[in-house]
Amino acid sequence: MVDRRRKQIVAAATKLFSDQGFYRTKIKEIAKLAGVSPGLVYLYVREKEDVLLLVLLQVLEGYALEIPKAIEGITDPLERLIRAVDAYCRVVDQHRSATVLAYRSTKSLSSERQLLIQEREIETNSIISDALKACISQKLIRPVNVDVLTYQLVLIAHGWALKSWFYKSRLTLDEYINHNVDNVLSGILTEAGQRSRDAASREGQGNRIWL
């Protein structure tokens, strides 16, 4: 029940914050849309800023759950990297409004809450950076600045939400992931990395983005 109520509040807050902005939204409006009383909302949060924090943390929790699940049992570092990016994009697709809201409203949080969001983001992104480091170690991709490339891949995932008005009428999510993965890998794969990817594609291994 607690989890269900929390999800109702977060869903209502996401819609209202997205539609009319954080500062213009009132707790009683969130409660009404969520189908609960304002008093019940205050059982979960102390103030409106806490509701925004819950919205942003829900997205980060999605990353933290779904990305590791997508690469579980995968030993090939290049496939782990590609699957991690694929999973990241798919979580963003499930939380497009909240992803856009994160860019728009994180600055509305206190410095302590912003730091919490940043720490959670870094934890999640370490999954991608670790995969990149493994690829470099096995000479599947050339030496690159891991921090820069990690955030390039993160921004690709976020771009599906930030520019959905453009992409949704032109590409499916699968096509968006495929094109971006191809564009990135074409500039960093070594000969060994390209052979590995070609072999996986021929054998039908991995998921759709190997093809």
pLDDT in tens, 83-93: 999 999 999 99
Helix locations, the chain, DSSP H:
2-20, 27-34, 38-44, 48-71, 77-94, 96-105, 111-137, 146-162, 164-167, 173-186, 191-203
58, 12 in Cβ contact below 8 A?
no
Residue 140 main-chain phi, psi, to 5 deg: -90, -30
Top CATH class of 55-210 equals mainly alpha
Q: Where in the chain are all domains bearing CATH 1.10.357.10? A: 55-210
Which residue stretches of the chain have pLDDT < 70? 1-2, 202-211
Q: Where in the chain are all domains bearing CATH 1.10.10.60? A: 1-45
As its CATH architecture, domain 1-45 has: Orthogonal Bundle (1.10)
> Could you report the per-residue pLDDT of 110-134, keeping only the tens digit for each?
999 999 999 999 998 999 999 999 9
